[in-house]
Amino acid sequence: MSKDLVIVESPAKARTVGQFLGNKFDVKASMGHVRDLPRRSIGVEIDENGFKPKYTVSSDKKKVVSELKKAAADAGTVYLATDPDREGEAISWHLIEAAKIDLDKTKRVVFHEITKSAVEEAFANTRNIDTDLVNAQQARRVLDRLVGYRLSPVLWSKIKRGTSAGRVQSVALRMVVDRYREISSFVPVEYWQIDGLFKSEDLKSEFLAGLHTINGKRDKFALASRGDTEDLLRDLENAKYVISSYETSLSRRRPSPPFITSTLQQEASRRLRFSASRTMTIAQQLYEGNVRNAEGESVGLITYMRTDSTNVSDVALKEVSTYIKKRYGEEYALPKPRVFSRTVRGAQEAHEAIRPTSFTRWPDSLKDQLDRDQFRLYELIWNRMVSSQMADALFDRTVIDVDSKGTVTGNDYVFRATGSVPKFDGFRIVYTEGRDDGPAEDQDDSILPLFQKGASLVGEKISPDQKFTEPPPKFTEASLIRNLENEGIGRPSTYATIIGTIQDRDYVRRERGRFEPTKLGIAVTDFLMQHFTDIMDVGFTADMEKRLDDIAEGLVRWNPMLKDFYTPFDEAVETAKSEAERVPRDKIDEESDEVCEVCERPMVIRGGRNGRFIACTGFPECKNTKPLTIGIACPECKMGELAERKSKRGIFFGCTNYPDCNFAVNTKPLDESCPMCAGILLPSGRENARCSSKECGFRGAIEELEPVK
């Protein structure tokens, strides 16, 4: 009897799935997508009947397709076990089409975790290919192709050769540019904060309280100048202080829900400094079971990593509850599971949160089988899931109000102090979510002394503090993903690509972990905003994403949806081609201090295939160029200087004496030099520095370094 064939995407997944199925099945990998739109042409036929994608099997996929075709012809049933989302559905459909597999003998198998029970259950509940999911994926692919292919020539002729734009990433770029402008045009506003140090009459206890209201009104800008503040101090000079309210109440903090794709990317960025794409690569390894246990068996350690659902299966909830009781005690467990509500788009795709597949595989037991990054990500996923089903953390929160009357004006002043004392750590024993900006919430944990209402106080010291309002912070990778998600742009499968693309194209750069647009990025954004308002509109893009979801749910047909989009877009392209003015060079080139030693014209920074370099503005008359050095001597050959370069793996800083000297580092060195060996220091996280020399091994806080003279 002929064997049944199972097709998955990758060899690692094939191996793991194969173990569970035994030798009645032949498991093969498609190595990702087998068909796609052609590389060298638009690949979409557009006529009155609509949009027809012309998929081709690329030359590197021909072999695998013919192998699968043969295997499928010989097989009994062909099980298509690609990933459980639109992209996975589309891969299966393309497989059927490309390898000409007899539809009647195919079955679609969907599982969200690669474990024995999940795989067996999926094989007992097969279905047909879901055409709606496939069409949603086709619509996205065609849409992105049309936008990219039609916009590129416009950008090439109006801005610069080699520039390109994409449907979703252009809006993401716009967010970075908007934020940058908001920061550049920000005008700080002065205000004053008043703190009072109050003591009990016996002077034995004291606490700090901030001025909260004046005549019952809370206004940050009530004291707008030093003059206002001096008036206030005079008013309070002989004032009396009385505790008008002393209240303690129980407050609780809830744990965060288990991870979905966007929150995993954000938290891995904040805590582990992983880029979104790195997080996804490692998560995929954990999901596919790219890890073997002592017996040589592999198993998927986490559920599928592309998801926007916080659901957790009943089995997993039961298991985690048992684990919590055993590991932390009854009081840390919940009487019944906590449910996190979240509207999930595309109900038939709704799967599960990202969580460990078993709560018997605690992180430390896997330390020997996982590499450092796999371990750290697994531990993060583990802690987040476990904490999400643990008891609330409890605090005693105390608020003290101190009343006073101005002796000059008769104004009513209220000072307020808040403090909280942890009462029960609950989920916080395992995990608390990191933050992008601002102080950690733990800073509120001050203990206030006991007082009776009505007690008189001694106003020991009233101290004014000059402040200025601050602009919003630049985006980090984490905060940009959060923003995209909040605006309804991008989906679990696309965040990492969006973030990667705007950096690869040199539209934004990262300085100390924060995004800043380049001049080219700003020029592209301004050009697109002027000529392609829809594409650059956040609401419009969010609506397109929603319509793709509607296609996946079978509510909207994909071809008419494309037509609705394409007709006005096509007009905008034609108008821009004929009417848009060319963006002048000085709007794209970054200024430099260098003057050309050949022709004495100023030089500018330009981008090229191998990274940025310094070029003469006299080009093409004068072709003088120089590497973009960063003012740091090469620590190895001591002759060259470090200059910015670019490879396939991103930007790096290498010696100008290359190829004679091979010294290179992947992150931009700090201006300070190593206090131990005078070598090069690299940032390590946001606050620390480490020496680039392994022999030296210096590590320390950036703040404590000596500035270079």
Strands 393-405 vs 190-200: parallel, antiparallel or unpaired: unpaired
Q: Is 402 in the site for Zn ion (CB under 5 A)?
A: no
684 versus 693: smaller Cβ distance to Zn ion: 693
Which one of the spans 30-38, 272-280, 512-520, 683-691 is the region binding Zn ion (CB under 5 A)?
683-691
Contact 273, 478 (CB under 8 A): no
When asked if residue 691 is in the footprint of Zn ion (CB under 5 A), the reply is yes
Query: CB of 499: closest distance to Zn ion in angstroms?
Result: 32
Least Å distance between CB 513 and Zn ion?
23
Task: Kindly state whether residue 696 participates in binding Zn ion, applying the rule CB under 5 A.
Answer: yes
Residue tagged 């936008």 (tokens): 147
- As a whole number of angstroms, the distance between CA 82 and CA 13 comes to 9
- Enclosing H/E stretch for 455: none
Which tokens go with 356? 């460990």
**618 in contact with Zn ion (CB under 5 A):** yes
Of residues 66, 65, 123, the one with CA closest to residue 94: 65
Q: Is 604 in the site for Zn ion (CB under 5 A)?
A: no
Q: Do 259 and 383 meet the contact criterion of CB atoms below 8 Å apart?
A: no
Active-site choice (304, 495, 507, 566) = 304
171 near Zn ion, rule: CB under 5 A: no
Query: How near is the Cβ of 696 to Zn ion at its closest, in Å?
Result: 3
Interface mask toward Zn ion for 622-661; x: CB under 5 A: x-x---------x-xx--x--------------x-x---x
**How near is the Cβ of 664 to Zn ion at its closest, in Å?**
9
Contact with Zn ion (CB under 5 A): which of 317, 484, 502, 596?
596
Could you say which of 55, 149, 652, 698 contacts Zn ion (CB under 5 A)?
A: 698
- Of 248 and 693, which CB lies nearer to Zn ion in the complex structure? 693
CB of 433 to Zn ion, least distance (A): 35
H or E element in which residue 545 lies: helix 538-552
Instruction: Compute how many residues bind Zn ion; rule: CB under 5 A.
Output: 23
Q: Contact at 8 Å (CB) between 257 and 388?
A: yes
In the complex, the smallest distance separating the C-beta of residue 163 from Zn ion, rounded to whole angstroms, is: 25
Among the listed residues 685, 178, 276, the one whose alpha carbon sits nearest the alpha carbon of residue 485: 276
Q: How far is the CB of 649 from Zn ion (least distance, A)?
A: 20
Whole-number minimum distance, CB 644 to Zn ion, in Å?
A: 15
Reply yes or no on whether 507 is catalytic: no
H-helix segments, 99-225: 116-124, 131-158, 167-184
Among 616, 628, 632, 670, indicate the residue that binds Zn ion (CB under 5 A): 616
Q: For Zn ion, give the closer residue by CB, 362 or 663.
A: 663
Residue 525 burial class via C-beta count within 10 angstroms: exposed 0-12, middle 13-18, buried 19 and up: buried
Which segment (243-251, 260-268, 497-505, 689-697) binds Zn ion by CB under 5 A? 689-697
Q: Which residues pair with 398 in a beta bridge?
A: 248, 419
The H or E element containing residue 296 is none
- Does the protein bind Zn ion through residue 679 (CB under 5 A)? yes
Q: Which is nearer to Zn ion, 39 or 694 (CB)?
A: 694
Establish if 665 lies at the interface with Zn ion (CB under 5 A): no
Q: Which lies closer to Zn ion via its Cβ, residue 94 or residue 612?
A: 612
Nearer to Zn ion, 232 or 680 (CB): 680
599 near Zn ion (CB under 5 A): yes
Rank residues 8 and 691 by Cβ distance to Zn ion and give the closer one. 691
244 in Cβ contact with 353 (< 8 Å)? no
Segment interacting with Zn ion (CB under 5 A) among 115-123, 138-146, 568-576, 596-604: 596-604
CB 357 within 8 A of CB 303: yes
Q: Which residues 6+ apart lie within 8 Å of 121 measured at CB? A: 111
Find out whether 522 and 184 touch, Cβ atoms under 8 Å: no
- For Zn ion, which stretch binds (CB under 5 A), given 172-180, 390-398, 607-615, 672-680? 672-680
Tell which one of 31, 197, 458, 676 touches Zn ion (CB under 5 A). Answer: 676
Q: Is the dihedral of CA 696, 699, 702, 704 positive or negative?
A: negative
User: Which listed range, 32-40, 191-199, 357-365, 621-629, lies at the site for Zn ion (CB under 5 A)?
Assistant: 621-629
Cβ-based nearer residue to Zn ion, 430 or 596: 596
The b-or-e profile of 107-142 (16+ CB within 10 A means b, else e) is: bbbbbbbbbeebbeebbeeeeebbebbbbbbbbbbb
Instruction: Examine residue 55 and tell whether it contacts Zn ion (CB under 5 A).
Output: no
Direct distance between the N- and C-terminal alpha carbons of the chain, in angstroms, rounded to an integer: 81
Dihedral sign for Cα atoms in the order 152, 156, 162, 165:
negative
CB of 695 to Zn ion, least distance (A): 8
User: Is the Cβ of residue 500 or residue 640 nearer to Zn ion in the bound state?
Assistant: 640
Q: Are 286 and 300 in contact (CB under 8 A)?
A: yes
Q: Does 433 bind Zn ion (CB under 5 A)?
A: no
- Stated as kind and residue range, the H or E segment containing 233 is helix 226-235
**Residues forming the site for Zn ion (CB under 5 A):** 596, 598-599, 616, 618, 622, 624, 634, 636-637, 640, 655, 657, 661, 663, 674, 676-677, 679, 691, 693, 696, 698
Q: Which residues are catalytic?
A: 304
